[in-house]
Structure 1
C-alpha cells in the first residue's frame, strides 16, 4: 500500500505591529508581476471554458440521408451514432445545416487558439512561481469539470482547498502547510452520480474511471476501497457525509462495483451546506484548473471542530487548528464579501461556532 505523507506545520508570529501580534500569518503576498501573470492566465482559462461550452452546443454532427421518400437532415447525437431526423430537406433545413457546420468550425478554431495561448502562458506561470497545485490534482479537476461534476456533485475538501483560497486572495501559503500526498473529494451522496457522467467509457466505472483518464495507473486499494492510488503513491479519497439515520439509503449505494466506495465521515453535511467557493488555480505544469471547495469560513470552523476531537492524534489536532486559524485570518483580510457572522453559518450547531473561538461579527 502506498505510504500516506502526513502534513507538518511550522507557524510564526507576526510582530510588525501590535495589531497583528498573535496572528498566524502563514502566507505571503504575490508581487505585481505574479499578480499580472495570474490574472492573465485565469482570464484566458475562463475564456477557454466558455469556448468549450460554445463548442458543446455543436456536439455530434449533421448529415444528409437519402431514403425512398426523399432527403432528410440527420443530427448524429453522440459517439454511439444515435441519430435524430430534423425533417425533409428544404430551404430552412439547408440553412440549419450550414449554420451548424460553420458554427462548429468557428468554435473549434477558437478553442484551439485558446489552447495554444494557455500552452504558451503555462511556461510563464511556472517561471513566475505560480504553479502550486500538484499536476495530478490539476488533471483530476479538469476531468471532473469536463463531466460537469465539480461543485454540484463533488468538491475538494481538506488541505488542497487551500490552493483555491490562496489563488483567489492573491497570496501563497507556506509550502509546509500544503505538503500532502492525498486529496479528499467530498461527494454529495443524495444524488445519483452515474446518471450525470456523459462519457460512456467513464460512466460504468464512475469516479475511478475518471481518475484513470487523468492517470491510467490509478487503482482502488483492496483494504481501503474508498481510496485510489497511482504508481507515484498519490492517493485520492472519496468521502461522503455519514447517513442520518444510519440505516437511511443514499443514491451512491447503487454505484458500480468497479468504482470507489465513498467512506462515511461524520458532520460533512456542514460543508455540503456551505456556499460553494470557486477559484482558478495553477498546477505545477503551469496549467490552470477550476477548483470548487467549501466556503473558507465553513472550512475553518469545520477544521477547528476537528481539532477538538479527542479521538484524533495530537499532532493532527494541532495541524487542524493551525490550518483553521490561517484560513479564517485570510478570509477576514481578503474576502470582505464573506463576513464572519454566525447568521451566515447557521448550518453549524451553535456550540460548534462558539467553541471555534473565532471573533464573529455582530
Structure 2
C-alpha cells in the first residue's frame, strides 16, 4: 500500500481544524488593517486626527470636524470588532490543535511547522517555496491520507528562494534587521551554518534547512548572500528550479505531530511528480535516493489518478 486513508474521526477533525485555521488567518489580516492607533491631538487652537502605525510613523488626517470624528469612530469600532474576532478564533484554534493531537491528525515534524509559522510572522513566507520530500506532507494533508514512512524519511527541508522578488525580499530583511539564519534561530537557537555548505543550516539534532535558487539568469545576482551578516546563508543554484517558480503556488494547511498548524506553500503535485521522475533517472544520484524518488512520484501520481488529490493551485 502506498498510502492509507485517515480514520473517519481524524478526517472530520482535519476538516474542522482547517476551517478554523483559515478563518483565523483572515481575522489576522483584518486585525492588521487596524494596527497602530488613531487619536485627536491638539496643536495650538486646533485639534487634528492623527493615525499612528506599528512602526511609530504618524500621519495627520485633518482638523477635528464631523468627518474626522466619524473616521475616528469607525476606526475605533472596527479595531475593537477585529480584535474580538481574532481573540475568539485564536481560542478556537488552540482547542482545535489540542484535538488534532488527541486524534493524531498530523505528523509533520514540529520543527517544520514552527519554521513555516516563523517565516509567516517575519513576512518572509512569500519568498520561499517548500520543494523536495517535505512537499509530500502538503499532498498527504490535501488528500486526507497517510503515506508509507519510506516515502517521507528525510532529515532536511528544502526551501526555494524566489530570486525574482529579491528587491522586496531585501527590503523586508532590512526591516527585520536580522539574517535568515537569525530567523531560523528564533525557531531553534542551535541552528548553525554548515561547514562547507553555505546554503544549509543544521541544528543540534542533525536536522538541516537547505536554501535553493534557480540557475542564474542574465540579471540575477550570483552568488548572493541573504543579508550582510557574514554568517548568513547563500542559496545554491538548483537545476529544474525555474519550473517551480513559473508555476502557481500550491498552499495547504498542514498539522504537526503536536497538533500545531501552519500554511505550507509548495508546488503543484503534477510538477512534483515530473521533478521526482527526472531525479530518479539521474545516473549520478545515489541508488537509495533514486528509489525514494520513484516511490514518491508513484505515490503522488496514484492520488492524482484516483482523484484523491487535485492538481489545482490555491493561489
Structures share fold, TM-score greater than 0.5: yes
Structure 2 distance, partners of 1:335, 1:240, is 31
Q: Please give the alpha-carbon distance, in whole angstroms, between the structure 1 residues aligned to 2:72 and 2:222.
A: 41
Rate the CA distance shift 1:199–1:132 in 2: closer, same or farther, 3 A.
Answer: farther
Q: For 1:43 and 1:199, how far apart are their aligned partners in 2?
A: 34
> Partner residue of 1:303?
276
How many Å separate the matches in 1 of 2:80 and 2:14? 30
Is the contact between residue 214 and residue 242 of structure 2 (CA under 8 Å) also seen in structure 1?
A: yes
Question: Deviation digits for residues 287-346 of structure 1, max 9, x if unmatched?
Answer: 11111111111101111101111121111111111111111111221357539xxxxxxx
2-side partners of 1:53 and 1:252: how far apart? 35
Query: Structure 2 matches for 1:1-362, cutoff 5 A?
Result: 25-79=1-55, 81-150=56-125, 152-192=126-166, 193-195=168-170, 197=172, 200=175, 202-205=176-179, 207-244=180-217, 248-250=219-221, 253=224, 255-258=226-229, 259-335=232-308, 337-338=310-311
Does the 8 A contact of 2:139 with 2:309 survive in 1? no
Structure 1 pair 284/253, CA: closer, same or farther in 2 (3 Å)?
same
Structure 1: gaps of 5 or more residues: 1-24, 340-362
User: Contact (CA 8 Å) 2:303, 2:309: kept in 1 or not?
Assistant: no
The runs of at least 4 aligned residues of structure 1 exceeding 6 Å deviation read none
* In structure 1, distance between residues paired with 2:177 and 2:303: 39
Secondary structure of 2:164's partner? coil
Tell me which moved more, 66-75 or 187-196: 187-196
Aligned residue pair count: 309
Q: Secondary structure at the match of 1:43?
A: helix
TM-score (normalizing by structure 1): 0.79
**Secondary structure at 1:228 match in 2:** strand
Deviations 1:238-277 (A, max 9, x none): 11111146xx533983741323210111121122222321
Partner of 1:13: none
Alpha-carbon distance in structure 1 between the residues aligned to 2:80 and 2:223 = 39
Q: In structure 2, the residue corresponding to 1:54 is in which secondary structure?
A: helix
Gapped regions of structure 2 (runs ≥ 5): none
Are the structure 2 counterparts of residues 147 and 128 from structure 1 closer, same or farther at C-alpha, using a change threshold of 3 Å? same
SS at match of 2:197: coil
Q: CA RMSD in A?
A: 2.2
CA-CA distance at 1:134 after TM superposition = 0.8
CA contact (8 A) 2:159 2:210 kept: yes
SS of the residue 1:334 aligns to = coil
Partners of 2:269 and 2:310 in 1: how far apart?
A: 12
- 1:35: how far off? 1.1
CA contact (8 A) 1:280 1:290 kept: yes
Return the alpha-carbon distance in structure 2 between the equivalents of residues 177 and 196 of structure 1: 38
Distance 1:108 1:198, change over 3 A: farther
